[in-house]
């Protein structure tokens, strides 16, 4: 089976994430896409919401999609979360006969050479890079110099391009603005009920 893996802080999960995962699933005919909320990542500071809330919002957001799954694999591992460990473990758990496709935005692709063991990551799975407004597609030759072999393991999607970020959502909530068009209804409700992201 072809299986998608979509890691993120999901603080909170938003419609951009869902559309991206759906685009990758449809384009590559993925049987399932695993959403993997990060515990603590080396890329983002310490001020992310506790994992329980982020996990719960992912659960609510993906509930209507039978082929979207939640993996709490990073919550179960102590210390910082590294993608290489996550996809290595998932590959083993799901069965090594499955082909993994790691979904990420063009902004994250630009950072990819600085992740831990990028060469190992592209050995285990392929990368699916989705456009993100405001971020150009990283130069493929430069990527190839930093991570030899990446060109053959990289699938670049040209659609969709959605200008939504979790940062904008957190700011809007703090300012008392509506986020109903940016996140699934159940996530908006959860944020409201739990009084998340208020100043």
Return the range that interacts with ligand ATP (CB under 6 A); candidates 11-19, 117-125, 145-153, 176-184.
11-19
Q: Give yes or no for residue 81 binding ligand ATP (CB under 6 A).
A: no
Residue among 4, 16, 125, 138 that touches ligand ATP (CB under 6 A): 16
Tell me: does residue 108 bind ligand ATP (CB under 6 A).
Answer: yes
Buried b (16+ CB within 10 A) or exposed e, 66-100: eebbbbebbbeeeeebbbbbbbbebbeebeeebeb
Stretch that binds ligand ATP, among 83-91, 113-121, 157-165, 182-190 (CB under 6 A): 157-165
Min dist CB 150 to ligand ATP, Å, is: 16
Is residue 166 near ligand ATP by the rule CB under 6 A?
Answer: yes
Binding to ligand ATP by residue 165, rule CB under 6 A? yes
Q: For the CB of residue 12, give the shortest distance to ligand ATP in the complex, in Å.
A: 9
Residue 17: what are its φ and ψ, rounded to 5°? Answer: -55, -45
Query: Which lies closer to ligand ATP via its Cβ, residue 11 or residue 74?
Result: 11
What interhelical angle do 51-62 and 15-28 show, nearest 10?
50
* Closest separation in Å from C-beta 97 to ligand ATP: 26
Pairwise CA distance, residues 37 & 192, whole Å: 21
Q: By the 8 A CB rule, do 73 and 36 touch?
A: yes
33 interacts with ligand ATP by CB under 6 A: no
Piece of the chain touching ligand ATP by CB under 6 A; list 13-21, 79-87, 141-149, 182-190: 13-21
Spatial CB neighbours of 152, under 8 Å, sequence gap ≥ 6: none
The 10 Å Cβ neighbour count of residue 197 is 19
With CB atoms as reference, the residue minimizing the distance to ligand ATP is 105
| DSSP designation for 114 | G
Q: Which stretch binds ligand ATP (CB under 6 A): 27-35, 57-65, 158-166, 189-197?
A: 158-166
N- to C-terminal Cα separation, the chain:
45
Using CB under 6 A, which of 3, 4, 11, 90 touches ligand ATP? 11
Would you state the structure tokens that stand for residue 117, as one six-digit string? 């063991």
């Amino acid at each position: 089976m072809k299986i998608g893996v979509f890691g993120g802080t999901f603080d909170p999960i938003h419609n951009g994430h869902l559309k991206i995962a759906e685009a990758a699933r449809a384009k590559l005919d993925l049987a399932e896409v695993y959403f993997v909320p990060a515990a603590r990542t080396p890329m983002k500071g310490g001020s992310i919401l506790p994992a329980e809330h982020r996990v719960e919002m992912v659960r609510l957001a993906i509930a209507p999609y039978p082929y979207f799954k939640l993996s709490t694999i990073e919550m179960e591992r102590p210390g910082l979360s590294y993608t290489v460990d996550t996809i290595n473990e998932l590959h083993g758990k799901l069965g090594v006969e499955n082909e993994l496709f790691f979904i990420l935005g063009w902004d994250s692709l630009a950072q990819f050479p600085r992740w831990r063991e990028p060469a190992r990551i592209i050995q285990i799975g392929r990368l699916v890079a989705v456009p993100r407004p405001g971020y150009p597609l990283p130069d493929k030759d430069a990527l190839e110099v930093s991570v030899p072999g990446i060109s053959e393991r990289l699938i670049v999607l040209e659609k969709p391009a959605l200008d939504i970020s979790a940062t904008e959502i957190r700011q809007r909530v703090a300012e008392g603005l509506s986020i109903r068009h940016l996140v699934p209804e159940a996530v908006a409700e959860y944020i409201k009920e739990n009084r998340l992201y208020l100043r």
